[in-house]
Amino acid sequence: MQLNDEQKVDEAVERRRFLGLTAAVAALGLTATVSGCGSLGGDAGDVTLRLVAADYDLTGGDTTKKYWNDLVVAFEAEHPGVKVEVQIESWDDVDRKVAEMVKADKAPDIAQIGAYADYAAAGDLYAADELLSIPVQANFLAPLAAAGEHKRTQYGLPFVASTRPLFYNQSLFDDAGIEPPTTWDELAAAAGKLKDNGVRTPFALPLGPEEAQAEALMWMLAGGGGWTDGTDHYSVDSEANVKTFDWLKKNLVGKGLTGPVAPGKLNRKAAFAAFASGEVGMLNGHPSLLKEAAKKGVKVGQVPLPGIDGRAKAAMGVADWIMGFKQNGHRKEIGDFLNFAFNDENVLKFAGDNDLLPVTVSASTRMETEPEHANLRVFLKTLPDSQLPPVGKTSWAKVSENVKQNIGKAVTPAGRPAEVLGSIGRAATAAENAE
């Protein structure tokens, strides 16, 4: 029976309502245990799934490989007839290698990588509701599920996430007699006192080409803006964003509070290394930095990002993605594997081992109460209300690259934030219109 447009809308509304109810159940710790998804269909007989995944081990070890090997052994024991072959690649290579596989008509069945939108737009991926049971799909944290949508259908399944609170060097703050800031004015005042106390880089502002699009978004959100507006169209040069970069230029960069390296030349990796070495007073931090700082004896304080008049109304969230490719036709088996991978034990194991955040309501609830994850609680508090970059847009990769190369110019001595953001914004709108 063919559904008319009104019936299709009603059906979609009912499904979303059910997903919302199930998410509420999950939040109470009552999420159903899922072992397979037998109603999804698929070919009978032995099947081998190929999984390509990114390496999260920052020390060059094999913890990522061990995680997937252990998960595969457990999954195969419950699903006779299905084998999973895992290929681990570095973050430097994994996105490119998957792209090459897809271009050569040799797509993996499952890829755990940094972006999904191009594959979704090309029709290469299964939608989330073609793979996951309703309890599993409903258990994703809302902002992460929304960020996984391309044209209102979820294709990207969040794998792990993080947020970025303000990190500060507790010893440097104690020496200068200052408290952690809660507003932009307090942040600038604290940075000034750190400078007066001999701190080389009071506030590290990495707007270099490594990850400027993320650093910029954190400040935009704190200033009431963002990359997109309420209609999900680019608004790079909005009044709020221009005011934010005017403030950065005048109150931090212009007063010599961002250190000897110009923000447009400073990459996140270098900023983090300097913080871990005790040379930086404050920066917008990442969970992985906690261990590195602790190894070198730096005591790290964490507070939510300050906003103009108080705590920022929204924090930036970041997610990595896992997805199922259609090419080999293994929908049922891919679904079985992903439903298994998203149980609480597996989600918590990977997130906890890598100082990252779980992507599901039930696993997040557990992490909040388990003492071994106490250092991640400040990140967890901001994740449910976080905003992610517009990763569901196929234009975002191009826009993001433009941002990386150019947004640092907005805070140079000769830079004009309105002009720099306007140029990026016009290019973004053109790229969006070409989608």
SS (H, E, C) 122-187: CCCECCHHHHCCHHHHHCECHHHHHHCEECCEECCEEEEEEECCEEEEHHHHHHHCCCCCCEHHHH
- Residue 402 domain-assigned (yes or no): yes
What's the average model confidence in pLDDT over 349-361? 93
Query: Is 387 a member of any domain?
Result: no
295 and 269 in one domain?
yes
Whether the per-residue pLDDT at 333 is higher than 60: the answer is yes
* pLDDT tens readout for residues 104-150: 999 999 999 999 999 999 999 999 999 999 999 999 999 999 999 99
Instruction: Label residue 61 by pLDDT band (50, 70, 90).
Output: confident
One domain, residues 302 and 334: no
- Tell me, what's the pLDDT at 375? 83
Higher pLDDT, 304 or 29: 304
Considering the domain boundaries, does residue 63 fall inside one?
A: yes
Has residue 4 been placed in a domain?
no
Clarify whether residues 200 and 306 are in a common domain: yes
Is the domain of 77 the same as that of 175? no
Q: Which carries the bigger pLDDT value, residue 304 or residue 300?
A: 300
Query: What's the pLDDT tens digit per position in 258-289?
Result: 999 999 999 999 999 999 999 999 999 988 88
- Two structure tokens written together for 253: 């960069």
**Rg of the chain's alpha carbons, rounded to an integer?**
22
Judge whether 217 and 227 are in contact, CB under 8 Å: yes
Q: Identify whether 388 is part of a domain.
A: no
Looking at the fold, whether 245 and 291 belong to one and the same domain comes out as yes
- Identify the band that residue 45 occupies on the pLDDT scale cut at 50, 70 and 90: low
Residues 185, 271 within the same domain: yes
Residue type, 159: F
Q: Please report where in the chains the tokens 């799934």 appear, as a residue.
A: 49
What pLDDT is recorded for position 264?
A: 97
Asked if 185 and 107 sit in the same domain, the reply is no
Q: In terms of residue numbers, what domain contains 98?
A: 12-162+319-377
Report the domain count for the chain. 2
Looking at residue 315, its pLDDT comes to 87
- Domain for residue 7, yes or no? no
Whether 186 and 329 share a structural domain:
no
Residue with the larger pLDDT of the pair 42 and 433: 433
**Mean pLDDT over the full length of the chain:** 89
pLDDT exceeds cutoff 80 at 50: yes
CA distance 342 to 359: 9
Across-strand partners of 253? none
Question: Same structural domain for residues 97 and 205?
Answer: no
Residues 57 and 78 both lie in one domain: yes
62 occurs within a structural domain: yes
The pLDDT score that the predictor gives to residue 33 is 33
H/E stretch holding 284 reads: strand 280-284
CATH of the domain at 50: 3.40.190.10
- Asked whether the predicted pLDDT for residue 378 surpasses 70, the reply is yes
Statement to judge: residues 114 and 251 lie in one domain: no
Is 1 a member of any domain? no
More confident residue, 15 or 316: 316
Which DSSP letter does residue 88 get? E
Q: Is 92 found in the same domain as 22? A: yes
Whether residue 4 has pLDDT greater than 90? no
- Determine the pLDDT at residue 37: 36
Name the band, by pLDDT with cuts 50, 70 and 90, for residue 92. confident
| Burial tier of 121 (Cβ tally within 10 Å: 0-12, 13-18, 19+) | middle
Q: For residues 409 and 324, what is the distance between their CA atoms, to the nearest angstrom?
A: 39
Q: What is the pLDDT of residue 432?
A: 95
pLDDT of 205 strictly over 50: yes
* More confident call, 43 vs 423: 423
Q: Based on the number of CB atoms within 10 Å of its own CB, is 106 exposed (0-12), middle (13-18) or buried (19 or more)?
A: exposed
